[in-house]
Amino acid sequence: MEKELEQHIKTELLRIKHWLGFPTERTAMRDYVSALGVCPSPQSITRLMDEVVQIEWAHFPSAAVLRQMAYVEKEKVIQKRANCPICEGVGYVTIWQLVTFIGENSLAFRRIEDIPDIPNEEQAYAFQRKMLATPCTENQIVRSAARKCQCHKAAHG
Ligand SMILES: [Zn+2]
């Protein structure tokens, strides 16, 4: 687990630190951190803890119960993403970039620019052909890259 995420989980868990039964042992704490780690994003963890604090628990919730809740939360996020009309649940979209290299035989690049309004591979190659036909002193290529779809934000945030 990433350090940053672990820290976020611990911070979120502190919201119920004053509850009777809050884990004081390091190993018990680890179970709770791992349970919340099931959530697919920091925002998701916060949402889960929002839910936890709303419930009137008879006893301090076990790590297993929180893990179960985390799976439900994760399922919700996946479901929400699957409904995305842009990426159809993949979570990523293909973008096209113009890469300008420093020199003729260099693999180091001077800059990378996103090329807007290229919806598919065919048009990307058309763009590249047009570019190659234009006299240019710079060494450039068109390449595709994956970018997180905006539904990542929507589903998480
Ligand atoms: Zn999407």
- CA 90 / ligand 1 centre spacing (Å): 7
Could you identify the residue written with the tokens 């979209």?
A: 93
- Answer whether 151's CB lies under 8 Å from 86's CB: yes
Q: Identify the DSSP state of 143.
A: E
Count CA within 13 A, CB hemisphere, residue 99: 14
Reply yes or no on whether the pLDDT at 156 is more than 80. no
- CA 146 / ligand 1 centre spacing (Å): 12
Reply yes or no on whether the pLDDT at 157 is more than 60. no
pLDDT tens readout for residues 102-155: 877 778 888 999 988 887 888 888 888 888 787 766 788 888 899 888 877 654
- Answer whether 126's CB lies under 8 Å from 142's CB: no
Q: Is the dihedral of CA 11, 15, 16, 18 positive or negative?
A: positive
- Would you state the pLDDT for residue 62? 97
CA 110 to each of CA 107, 125, 132: distance values in angstroms, whole numbers, following the listed order:
10, 21, 18
- CA 93 / ligand 1 centre spacing (Å): 7
Give the chain's end-to-end CA distance (angstroms, integer): 21
Q: Delimit the domains of the chain by residue range.
A: 3-82, 92-156
- CA 15 / ligand 1 centre spacing (Å): 32
- Would you state the pLDDT for residue 140? 85
pLDDT tens readout for residues 11-46: 999 999 999 999 999 999 999 999 999 998 899 999
pLDDT tens readout for residues 33-86: 999 999 988 999 999 999 999 999 999 999 999 999 999 999 998 888 888 888
- CA 111 / ligand 1 centre spacing (Å): 27
